[in-house]
Amino acid sequence: MTRAELDKRPADVASMFDGIADRYDLVNDVISLGQDRLWRRATVQAVDAYSGELVLDLAAGTGTSSESFTRKGARVVACDFSQGMLRVGARRRGGASRRGVTFVAGDALSLPFADETFDAVTVSFGLRNTNDCDRALRELRRVTKVGGRLVVCEFSHLPVGALDRVYGTYLMGALPKIARLATDRTEAYEYLSESIMDWPDQRALAQRLIGAGWESVAWRNLTFGVVALHRGHRRR
């Protein structure tokens, strides 16, 4: 399996996720101690999609969370650039377009959708894996309708420096070992640890959303800042 580095070459990142697709959801549960379910639930609540809306779930992986956006009648496009993830998701659901969710292959830096297509766009634990975060945020804004909204759920940093350093030690040392309990493809989780440590904090990411043209940007911490939910709107 290809092990992606912090330059995040798209082919390497996609190949890495292809290699862990079958056990991806299980390993996420293990390494987060089940917290990933709470984080995804908070994302669904923040998006608050309703009947008649079309939602883009970018970096959707196997589509585990995508169906949750359909509960009030919205339709969802689950988009990812890992063909392996999409194949696993489609197989589990019995097809590439079922129960309000359609799987589409696509690159976050050049989304295969027309301008102003979606009422809401969201990306969970995927913005960090692009090699141009600012361009991805601009692309998300391009495909969002005027009046639409963005929700980003991503790993972040604990607000207390000393605690964040302890957390960093856990990420670099313990997380790949815990992942080994569920998979032998630990290279992906070494990359995960490094990419989280290299990722901007909450305030810095908010500034990048603003720089990409999003307005009314705000964030809130989940699990003491291990994860942050950022929200923005397209006003014009």
- Residue 119 assigned as binding residue: no
- Residue 36 assigned as binding residue: no
Q: For residues 51 and 89, is the Cβ–Cβ distance under 8 A?
A: no
- Residue 124 assigned as binding residue: yes
- Residue 80 assigned as binding residue: yes
Q: How far apart are the first and last CA of the chain?
A: 43
Q: How far lies 123's CA from each of 60, 108, 179, 183, in Å?
A: 7, 10, 23, 25
Cα separation, 139 vs 108, whole angstroms: 7
- Residue 59 assigned as binding residue: no
Strands (E), 85-130: 97-98, 101-105, 118-124
The residues pairing with 107 across neighbouring beta strands, listed in sequence order, are 110
Residue stretches of the annotated binding site for S-adenosyl-L-methionine: 62, 80, 107-108, 124
Residue stretches of the annotated binding site: 62, 80, 107-108, 124
